[in-house]
Amino acid sequence: MSHPRILGRRAIIAAGTGLACTAIAAATPARAAPATPLRDLYDEAGTAPSPLAKRLEGSRVTLTGLVAPVPTATPGWLALGEAALVPCQLCGGAHDWPIGVVAVHAPGLPHIADPYTRVTLTGVLDLSDSARAPTGLPDRLVLRDAGLASA
């Protein structure tokens, strides 16, 4: 049979350990939602929204990619792609836009001049035609109200 004084000591140690674990858990920052791969937002041909994109429409998503200006050069808009979206280095002409490009409306985003900059953005996925109208990318999805999650 345990001595009452020892049992009290064990209870105090257990309670202290529990409080320490709770404090550590509370101080640990929550992890950001994992980034959705850009390619997964389009069907296999890259011409229409995928079933995943249709499920995510209207919700906040996190996307990571390389930045480029949209063809209209409208302030507050940029494109986010899996590959660098730069003109051909041989002829200076525009390449076809690859699969996995999303137009991003981010009016508060600082100017990112380097097209090789990889950024992570969080915003609302919008599949509507009206959202795509000002982008110059009529066949691409739109991430609206986007903000910089990391650079």
Per-residue pLDDT at 54: 94
Separation CA 60–CA 63 (nearest Å): 10
Global pTM reads 0.67
pLDDT digits (tens, 9 = 90+) for 69-119: 666 667 778 888 887 766 667 776 666 666 678 888 888 777 666 767 788
Cα dihedral 76, 80, 84, 86 sign? negative
Separation CA 84–CA 98 (nearest Å): 10
Whether pLDDT at 125 is above 90: yes
pLDDT digits (tens, 9 = 90+) for 27-57: 433 445 688 888 899 888 877 899 999 999 9
Domain spanning 38-150, CATH class: mainly beta
DSSP reduced 3-state for 38: helix
Nearest partner of 105 among 62, 142, 139, judged by Cα: 142
Ordered by start, the domain boundaries in the chain are 1-30, 38-150
